[in-house]
Amino acid sequence: KNAVRWAAEDDKINAKLAALEEKFGKKPNIIYILADDVGWGELGWQGGGKHRGTPTPELDTMAAEGMRFWSAYAEPSCTPSRIAINTGRHPVRTGLLSVLWPGQVDGLSGKEVTVAEVLSEAGYNTAMWGKWHLGEEPEHLPESQGYDYAYYGLWNGAPDNWPGSFDMYQDAPNPNKAMFYDFPGEEEYLKRTGIDLSVAGYVGRKGKGRKPIEGLAGKLGPDRQEAFEAESIKQITSYVKDNAKGDKPFFIYWASYALQITGSKEKQNDPGVDKQNAQASMMVLHNEHVDKLLKTLEEEGIAENTLVVWWSDNGPMYAFYPTSGYSLLQGGKGSLMEGGVRVPGMAWWPGMIEPDQDPEDMVHVTDLFTTAARLAGVKDKIPSDRVTDGIDQTALFLLGEGNGRRNYMTHYSGDQLGAIRYEDFKVHIKPAKGGLPGMDFYNIMRDPGEKYGKLYPGLFAVAPIQKFIGSHKAMMAQFPNRDPGESRAKSH
């Protein structure tokens, strides 16, 4: 349907990218920042920020200087979104279906092809910092998945509070309730389960294995994440400076720990910070770190040759409220309601992305994989023996609103197709009753809060939705999902 129009757009895009490459002598650098549990409406440009005790002035400036995506989407939880941004595929296709916990032997199969591997084929230097959360066995790790360098934590933020919860009750009776009050302590946990929590993070290098992170940033505890983030931005800015004048472009995947459960001691007393919400102070710290990165790109004279995309991995986790992110939409982390999968997202590329844009075009986190391959000139390196869900959104980035190339999305919960969005319509799939189709129908443009879902106003969509699901499943039959057994470490 769109072949002629897209071909004309691609000619314009090719000309822009060719001129840029001639100016800088190499392909554009790409930086993807994946934040954690930051809900739609959390940042200042979406009505949050200082109004919710989480000031984000520099992130708001980044958004104003680039493109603010009002219809940005992710997977419903953390490991799934990390699969999606790295492979361009919905997790169900990869065989890795669940959020990972310490001691599990599942992880991202080495048969998957990551964005780092694709960009390495294009001659990029590749590096990652942050929360890996895609497995802890050697074959699952970033240094085995295409990254030349990686400074990473193995798990999500919850285990950082396990040892402290045990310690709360050791010296005296405590009237306060620990987050994980039944955790038996690291030594006893190791004795009972065989799971070693003594090393929380590693430095990995492609072909050279990994070494434990030394000091506070590599040891579980309530101060680890702040120390880890401080070291990360120090390394990231140094990496940018080292690579700015080199012959090869670079790719950075920064999976920040903002916002995880612990906060920032450095920022908890800053003006406007909600002290009762630990994550608010971490958001302020992250805000400053992103600003340092953007300023470094400008100072090194490579901002025009560097795309920076900021995304959240899912909606807020309310389990530890009032320490939590927040969403103005219904649902949160783990949910297929808009509050679980619709997230803040933005792109910054001075001279290439026109400033002050707020498109409604749909963009999914898988799209970042395919878009990176397009910018690097290696879309032909994306495997053709499997389905890649990500869509090339370079036209949206460079030509502006209305040039997005996605008009539908599938939302999975584990291995279950739970919702479908097509244009402005969204259908939540439910068990059928008495021969009637099982679905709630919403107009997401009119009703982003999903307050008025009904079956009968959407009866005209029943047959098209059923046809779409049939086509979707037929494609899965042609290109089967990876067996979950392939995600488990070979040694187990």
Pull the structure tokens for residue 421: 């969005």
> Hey, is 487 helix, strand or coil?
helix
Tell me the per-residue pLDDT of 277-290, one tens digit each, with 9 for 90 and over.
999 999 999 999 99
The residues, any chain, with a CB within 8 Å of residue 330's CB and separated by 6 or more, are 337, 338, 339, 449, 450, 451
CA pair distance 290, 392, nearest whole angstrom: 25
Q: What is the mean pLDDT of residues 2-14?
A: 95
Q: In the chain, what percentage of residues exceed pLDDT 90? A: 90
Q: Is the pLDDT of residue 261 over 90?
A: no
Region 177-199: mean pLDDT is 95
| Residue 115 per-residue DSSP state | H
When pLDDT is averaged across residues 397-407 and rounded to a whole number, the result is 97
Token pair belonging to 146: 């295409």
Q: What is the pLDDT of residue 487?
A: 85
C-alpha–C-alpha distance, residues 103 and 199, integer Å: 12
Contact by Cβ (8 Å): 141, 205:
no
Q: Are residues 80 and 72 in contact, defined by beta-carbon separation less than 8 angstroms?
A: no
Which stretch of DSSP H or E encloses residue 59?
Answer: helix 57-64
pLDDT in tens, 20-36: 999 999 999 999 999 99
* Percent of the chain topping pLDDT 70: 100
Return the ∠ at Cα 388 (arms to 387 and 390), rounded to 5°. Answer: 150
Q: What is the mean pLDDT of residues 342-356?
A: 98
Averaged pLDDT for residues 87-94? 97
Which one, of 254, 336, 209, 205, lies nearest residue 85 by Cα? 254
Q: Which of 60-64, 175-179, 201-205 has the lowest mean pLDDT?
A: 175-179
Burial class (CB in 10 A: 0-12, 13-18, 19+), 191: exposed
Using one digit for the tens of pLDDT, what is the confidence trace for 212-255? 999 999 999 999 999 999 999 999 999 999 999 999 999 999 99
pLDDT tier for residue 491 given thresholds of 50, 70 and 90: low
Give the per-residue pLDDT at 492: 56
Q: How many Å apart are CA 129 and CA 116, to the nearest integer?
A: 13
* Nearest residue to 114 (alpha-carbon basis) of 369, 366, 368: 369
CA distance 48 to 52: 5
Q: With contact defined as beta carbons under 8 Å apart, do 296 and 237 qualify?
A: yes
Strands 363-364 and 67-73: parallel
Tell whether pTM > 0.75: yes
- CB-CB neighbours of 175 under 10 Å: 4
CA dist 228 and 235 (Å) reads: 11
Question: What tens digit of pLDDT does each residue of 413-456 get?
Answer: 999 999 999 999 999 999 888 888 889 999 999 999 999 998 98
CA distance 476 to 478: 5
Whether the per-residue pLDDT at 1 is higher than 70: the answer is yes
